[in-house]
Every structure is written in structure tokens, then in C-alpha cells.
Structure 1
Amino acid sequence: MKIKKTFTKFIGMRTLKTSISVCLCMFVSKIFKIEYPFYACIAAVISMQGSVSSSFNTGKNRMFGTLVGAFTGLIFSLINAGNIFLIGIGTIIVICICNGLKWSKSASIGCVVFLVIMTNLNGRNPYTYSFNRLIETFIGIIIAIFVNYIVYPPKYLNKIYLASNNLVDKMILFCGNKFCNNTYMDMQTIMDEISSLKTHITDYENDFIIKSKELVEINTVKNVIELCNKILLSINIINSLGDKLYINSVNMERLNSLYNCNISINNHENNDINIVYNYHLSLILDCLKQLLSFNINKTELGNL
């Protein structure tokens, strides 16, 4: 098991899955006696991405580009394959078609397929040659997506749970240091954690059919993000109020209870600024209480 983990860490799962995809492309090509397995292998290499949805999108772009390039190459090869002037005009047309259809990411591969047909036809039937390029590309894309989905698929749920707990822990520590220790804290770290968690959720939702139980868990994590955003909003408002802010007795007791600290009231002045401050501090404490119930691995609060 340890050797396996070391091997996959050194090689990388994406590298390994790319290799498997290429081997399968060669195997399928031999079975169906495909003349040029090279194009299927290239499509598989390009389509293999870090997530299944990314593989699908990359493969889709390649397929669109191949379709435009093959069709344009077929038309121009029927006129005069290998003609320098037509190659230049055809390249412009392929790019314009892809851009016009908003397939800009497909333009480069479209040009490659067009040029392959125009320069490598060598007396072959242009219809058969163009159709074969489409089929070979399609085979490579399907194999890459299949391998990426079946062979050691990304464990998004584990990443989501870990990122969620990290976010909760950092938010609790962040608020403790700010309100108990009066320490300046940079919110960018929390914002980065939220962004990372959102990315994991998006990848998971794009790649898999979520089960009902998992849907509840994902919605819980989304609630964590919402609560953290509320806390950050209130902290921004508090930061804009200035330095001479005084905590009221209710919030003082809640902070002391939550963080096991020893805050005392110093000549609390009940002006408008302090009313706003304590209102938002109360909102933050409410959110922290809810966050603690979501956190799987509870944060140790006593040593802030």
C-alpha cells in the first residue's frame, strides 16, 4: 500500500490515466483496424484533464474544432488539395467559423485538422480521409472521459469535507484573535479558503450525479460558506467604525463562554457607534455558534 501511494504520488494519477487512455486507443485501433491511431491518441492526451467535466469540455472543444476543420478540409481538398493559396484562405475560414460560432477554443485544433487533410491527402479519397479523422478524434475523446471517470476518480467529497472543516477552524480562530486578543487579522486567508471550497463543490456538482444523502451534506457545506460570508460582512462593517469600540455585557459573556477568555467591560458608552458594533458582534457570535455545530472535527478554543 505504501509503495502504491509513493508510486502514484511520484507519477501522478493524471499521468497514469493518460497512459492508460493512450494504450486503450492503440488497442481499439488495432481491433477496428484504424489506419492512423495517432489522431485518437492525441485526442485522448489533450482531453485528459484534472476533472471529468474538464475532460468533457476539452473533448467537446476538440470535437467541434475537428468537425469544422474536417468539413472545410473536405471542401477545399475537392477543389485542389495542397494548393498554397487555398490553404491560407481555408485557415482563415476555419478560424472565422469557430469564432463566429463562439467556439474560439476549438479554432486551433480546427486549423490542425484542416492542414492535415490539405497536406497529407496524397491521392486518398477526401471523403473517407475526412470522416476517419472525425471518428479517430471521437474515439480518443470517449476513451479519455471514460478512463477519467472510472479509474481512480477525484475524491471531491473528501476535499469538500476537509476544506469545510479548515474554513470553520480558521474562521473561529480568526474571530477569537480579533475580538478576544484584539489582534489584526488579514481576511484574505479566509476569502481564499471560501474560494477553494466553492471550486471543490463546483467540480463535484459538474462531475457526478449527487445522491440524496450527499446533497444534504453539500447543502450543509454551502450553509457554512454563507455563514462565513455573513461574518466577513459584519467584520468589514466593524472595521469601518474606528478604534474606540466598547463591548456590552451580553456580548462579553458570550465571547468569554465561547472562547474561554476573560474580557471585561471598560466604561462602556452606549452611543450609536457602539450600538452598531455590538449588533454586528452579536450577529457574528450567532454565526459562530452555528458553525461550531457544522464542524466535524471541533476546534479547540481554549488556547487562542
Structure 2
Amino acid sequence: MRPLRFVALGDSLTEGVGDPVGDGWRGWAALLAGGIGGGPSVKSVESVEFTNLAVSGSQTRDVLERQLPAALALRPDIASVVIGVNDTLRCTFDIQAVAARLDTVYSAFTEQGAVLLTACLPDPGAMLGLPGALARPLARRQRAVNAVVHALSERYGAVHLHAAEEAWLTDRAMWSADRLHPGERGHRQLAVRFHALLAEQGLATGSAPSPEPEFPEPTKSASLWWLATAGTGWVARRCTDLLPQLMTLAVDEMRHRVRGTSARLDLRTAHAVSAALAALSAGEQQPDAA
């Protein structure tokens, strides 16, 4: 009997940044893999074959064009797709394009019969502690991505984790020095919560990952050194092309706050999300109309 195949797609979060093991990263998906077993959709298995295709810096386009073909070739029983934060950090951000890509990815896995795992994520501005005028535009973008992920997860029957809120976000013990990636404890928290959702559906029969770290937490000096030598560069590489636009967004934000019209910005985003989802629905109905 072949092993159950679990494939993970995404960016640095799924790659495991913040949870170092040896010379590489481990992360929540690898931790989760050890506790997945057989369920209603697959026969009981003794082993799990885990493949992590996630690459740091990836956007939804990368998942669609590069990771998805490799994942489908593996014919996974379970596939996780956790992506979107890097899209919000780019000047090319387009919620309609994000929605269309995610719809294609989700559809491809469900058509193959894979169980789909998804998650909504916290906005990077809040995690970095940016000033309000800079943080709010990023938060609005992340809320838009999360709204799309929520809607599409429901459409495709995904096992969805609400990771964009709750107390774990404000617990510094969960996060690495860069404040954008979970540390080992945070990655374990994600794995434990995904395992609980899968267990509810009979899709995870192995033992849940331990929530307690296996390795000592990095010292403050070690964390600061990593941030200075690698972490800051990570943030800079992903935000450089956004900074000019972000300043424009911040000015627009402040102008609306002075006028008392900030609600218009939220309404504009809500309309964009609705239009993106409506476009997908219209595309589905077109062949029938023909």
C-alpha cells in the first residue's frame, strides 16, 4: 500500500522560515505531516510521504505557474495552499488576479480528489508594528486576500484554518525576531490547529504534534544577529518595489482620515473583492450559457 501523499505549497511561512533545524527550515507543514493518517477519503496508511514545494518570497503567481504543476504530478491525497502575504507587499497587487489564481489552484486539487488545506493570515503591517497610515493600507489588502480565501475555501470544501486573529498573534513567544514569521512555538501552534481540524474529519489519526518546542529558543542576541544579517534583507527584498506606492497609499489614507471619509477606502476594497468573486462566478456560468 502506497504512503499517503501530503504536498505543501506556499511561501516562506510554509517553507518553515523561523523554525530552523540543522542547516535548513522545518515548519508547520512538516510538523503536521507526522500526525496525518488515513481517513474516509483514503485507506488507512502507516506512513506519510511529505513534499514541501513552498519557496520563500512566492506569490500566488508562483504557486500557480511553478508549484502547482509539480504538485499535481505527485497526485497528493492532501495539499496545503497557504499564500498571499507577498502579493500584498508588491506594487502590482491586484485582488482580481489573486482570486483567479487561487480559484485555479484550488480547483485543480479538488478535481484530482485531494483534500485541500487553506488558511487566512495576519496582515504584515500590524506584525511589523508599522505606523497606522502605513499599516492600514496593507491591512486592507490582507483582509481582501483573506475574504477571497474564505469564500473560495467554502466553495471547494477546503479544511480552512482561521490564523488571522486570536491571541496567538500577540504572544511574542510565538514569533521569530523579524515579527513576520512564527518561531518554532508558532509553527507548532499552526500544526496543532491544522491537526485538530483534520482529526475532526477523520483525516488525521496519528498523534497531534507537540505544542512545546523541541529546541531551546534562540537567545536575544542570536535573534538580533539573524535579523540584522538576514531578516532585514528578507523584508527589504519583498518591500522595495512597494515603498513608493505605499507612501502614496499612506498620504491617501491620511487625507481620508482628515476628511472623515476613511470608510470609503474600506468600501472600495469590499467592492473589489465582490467584483473579483463575481468574475469567477461569471466565468463558471459562461459555458452553460453557450
Do these two structures clear the TM 0.5 threshold for a shared fold by scoring above it? no
Give the TM-score normalised by structure 2. 0.23
Larger Rg: 1
In the superposition, the TM-score normalised over structure 1's length comes to: 0.23
User: Relative contact order (C-alpha < 8 Å, sep 6+): which is higher?
Assistant: 2
Indicate the structure with greater strand content.
2
